[in-house]
Amino acid sequence: MKNRRDFLKNMGALTVGSVLLSSYKYAPKRITNAGIQLYTFRQEMLADPKGTLKIIADLGIKQIESAASAKGLFYGLTPTEMKQTCKDLGLTLRSAHCGIDANWQKTIDQAAESGQEYLVCSTIPYAGATVANYQRIAERFNLAGEECKKAGIKFGYHNHDYEFKEDGGLVLYDVLLVNTDPELVSMEMDLGWVVAAGKDPFKYFKDYEGRFPLWHLKDMKGKNSVEFGKGTLDITGLLKQSKEAGMKYFFIEQEEYPAGSPLASMRINMEYLNKLDV
């Protein structure tokens, strides 16, 4: 009887341990490092940058991507003020959007001073939907990558939908991918615009594995920005392919606000992310 009791006792402990192990093994991986593109709060950032960053931090956001504005790259704050404000709030200023223009070197210098890791061009520097023009753009991006590298930062490019036009049977975005040096040019894929252009981000992850360290996570219905879960973007599926894509950071971007305001939309987005099993 004693042996039988010991056997049952051991089996019970084994069963409990198996359940615990199973629960641990299949516990959902929660998203804890969400970022935001500050264009989402563009008016609020211009009016009160420090107060708006506090609101953003309270949402659970951790990574910040700035954008050029009427008051400069940091909404009227100096690079040092922006860096310190983020640090005080538990945020990391990771990236900033800009253009390659007459102030390009000043932009690089400010980005380096702020301590950010990436500087991302968000518009093509030369107009023209041709392969030849996109080859020229790729050359400029490679040079920009070298210029940024000298300052200790990484250069990237953010797409919209127009890069997915074709010329001579070639997709212009693909021309950029083929003709840019992965060591010098990081691609920030705006997933919403890729889908809006009728393209498949999963195919890009497979064909150009590891080329997309930055993402804009943006759900869209047609060409309009909507809150997560209300558009056509397969958010869960994409996040599960983040390793193949090479994704290091993603930034939520909300361009329009069906919920009524940037804050209302972002609350919905964060609630959605917090429920995901990725």
Say how far apart CA 249 and CA 218 lie, in whole Å. 14
pLDDT above 50 (res 2): no
**SS in 3 state form for 191-230?**
HHHHHHCCCCHHHHHHHCCCCCCEEEECCEECCEECCCCC
* Rg, Å, the chain Cα set: 22
User: Between β-strands 166-167 and 170-171, what pairing exists: parallel, antiparallel or unpaired?
Assistant: antiparallel
DSSP state for residue 141 in the 8-state scheme: H
pLDDT band at 24 (very low <50, low <70, confident <90, very high): very low
pLDDT digits (tens, 9 = 90+) for 51-99: 999 999 999 999 999 999 999 999 999 999 999 999 999 999 999 999 9
What is the pLDDT confidence band of residue 8, given thresholds at 50, 70 and 90?
very low
5 vs 69, more confident = 69
Helix, strand or coil, per DSSP, at residue 185: strand
d(CA 153, CA 148): 5
Q: Which of 247, 48, 238 is nearest to 156 (CA)?
A: 247
Name the 3-class secondary structure at 278: coil
Output the pLDDT for position 21: 37
Three-state DSSP class for 3? helix
Q: Give the whole-angstrom CA distance, residue 170 versus residue 182.
A: 20
Cβ atoms < 10 Å from Cβ of 9? 10
Please tell me the pTM assigned to this model: 0.88
How far apart, in whole angstroms, are the C-alpha atoms of residue 250 and residue 217?
6
pLDDT in tens, 102-137: 999 999 999 999 999 999 999 999 999 999 999 999
Dump pLDDT digits (tens) for 207-259.
999 999 999 999 999 999 999 999 999 999 999 999 999 999 999 999 999 99
3-state class of 160 per DSSP? coil
DSSP codes joined into one string, 108-158 = HHHHHHHT-SEEEE-S-SS---SHHHHHHHHHHHHHHHHHHHHTT-EEEEE
